[in-house]
A = this chain, B = another copy of it.
Amino acid sequence: MAQARLIALDWGSTRLRAFLLGDGGEVLATRQSNDGAATLSGADAYAGALADLVGDWRADHPGIRLLACGMVGSQYGWREAAYVRCPADAAALADQLLQVDGALSIVPGLVDDAAQPDVMRGEETQIVGALALRPELADDALLVLPGTHSKWARVKDGRVTGFATHMTGELFALLRQHSVLNRLMPADGSSPASPEAFLKGVDAAREEGGLAHQLFAVRTLGLFKQLGAEQLPDYLSGLLIGHEIASELRAVTPARIALVGDPALCARYAQALVHLGQPEPLLLDNTAPAGLWALAQTMNLT
């Protein structure tokens, strides 16, 4: 087996992902479990989840260090790591690593408190990874990390100068599953994608009237059969993503935009951005392993 140098842990609310990284930070092996931070309580539970997933890696590579990012460092996590204030770069994050024990450290989150405070945990590491993989982004870029709580981070001269969270993914799930809009829709996951309905939703988001009003149209467009039942989830998705994009691009005109994360979701955002007149954005898959490697290098953990 190639020389293993670091166990990188992307430990979010719903999942724990582990990456065994080699000499140049290359991924030698990957594993994941459903032991997300939201399902665990107390240090023993975290230690147990970690042993279950990567105990044998640690046994095979005595003395190997572990670096974790994400909700594992929240106030409900294993231990609470700091929030580093924006503007911040990789060195500022590395400075505030929380040492859990001799082997394991947790990356701090970021806070933007220029206006009402906004926070991230996990995405700061993905941003470090994106900048390590694509140094041309460091000058001036907008990094978008879509998800349950999407993050829009402004990067300038290698530092995150500020960011905003949008609860877009969570709103979609709530409305899809629990609201009156659910009634006219097919069961979750059973409908083929409708790019046409998605873009119709993106267009609707540009109109006046407010989101809480436009959401009701998901119901009426179904009621009056102007959209098929199977198109309604994509229309809803377009409406929410369209609002998110419009809010952000009202404030900033970035030199370039990069989308980081789940490829299918990033493709959806890219489609909306291009539809709204933006150039084709750069697409990056999960950059957490690259970010953890870069932070570990900064601190000579490997």
Residues in chain A within 8 A of chain B (CB atoms): 75, 113, 115-119, 149, 164-168, 170-171, 174-175, 178-180, 204, 207-217, 220-221, 223-224, 226, 240, 243-244, 246-248, 250-251
Q: A164–B213 contact, CB under 8 A?
A: yes
The residue from B119, B212, B244, B246 contacting A244, defined by CB atoms under 8 A apart: B212
Nearest-Cβ distance from residue A58 to partner chain B, whole angstroms: 32
Q: Which residue of B lies closest to A216 (CB)?
A: B165
A75, A212, A250, most chain B CB atoms within 10 A: A212
* Chain B positions within 8 Å of A113 at CB level: 224
* Chain B positions within 8 Å of A210 at CB level: 166, 211, 243-244, 246-248
The residue from B115, B167, B214 contacting A216, defined by CB atoms under 8 A apart: B167
* Chain B positions within 8 Å of A214 at CB level: 116
Q: A117-B224, A178-B178, A220-B119 are in contact. Are A209 and B167 (CB under 8 A)?
A: no
Q: A208–B166 contact, CB under 8 A?
A: no
Q: A170–B179 contact, CB under 8 A?
A: yes
* Chain B positions within 8 Å of A243 at CB level: 210-212
Nearest-Cβ distance from residue A265 to partner chain B, whole angstroms: 15
Q: A117-B223, A118-B216, A174-B175 are in contact. Are A164 and B246 (CB under 8 A)?
A: no
User: Chain copies in the assembly?
Assistant: 2
How far does the alpha carbon of A243 sit from the alpha carbon of B209 in the complex, in Å? 10
* Chain B positions within 8 Å of A166 at CB level: 210, 212-213, 216
Main secondary structure of the interface of A (DSSP, over half): helix
Q: A221–B116 contact, CB under 8 A?
A: yes
How far does the alpha carbon of A164 sit from the alpha carbon of B208 in the complex, in Å? 12
Q: Which residue of B lies closest to A170 (CB)?
A: B179
How far does the alpha carbon of A116 sit from the alpha carbon of B117 in the complex, in Å? 36
Q: Which residue of B lies closest to A118 (CB)?
A: B220
How far does the alpha carbon of A124 sit from the alpha carbon of B278 in the complex, in Å? 43
Q: A211–B212 contact, CB under 8 A?
A: yes
* Chain B positions within 8 Å of A220 at CB level: 116-119
Q: A210-B247, A220-B118, A221-B116 are in contact. Are A179 and B174 (CB under 8 A)?
A: yes
How far does the alpha carbon of A240 sit from the alpha carbon of B113 in the complex, in Å? 22
The residue from B117, B217, B240, B250 contacting A226, defined by CB atoms under 8 A apart: B117
Q: A118-B220, A179-B170, A216-B118 are in contact. Are A164 and B209 (CB under 8 A)?
A: yes
How far does the alpha carbon of A225 sit from the alpha carbon of B297 in the complex, in Å? 35
A113, A115, A175, A209, most chain B CB atoms within 10 A: A209
Q: B149–A216 contact, CB under 8 A?
A: yes
Q: A174-B178, A213-B166, A216-B167 are in contact. Are A116 and B204 (CB under 8 A)?
A: yes
Q: Which residue of B lies closest to A166 (CB)?
A: B212
* Chain B positions within 8 Å of A209 at CB level: 164, 247, 251
* Chain B positions within 8 Å of A164 at CB level: 209, 213
Q: Which residue of B lies closest to A207 (CB)?
A: B115
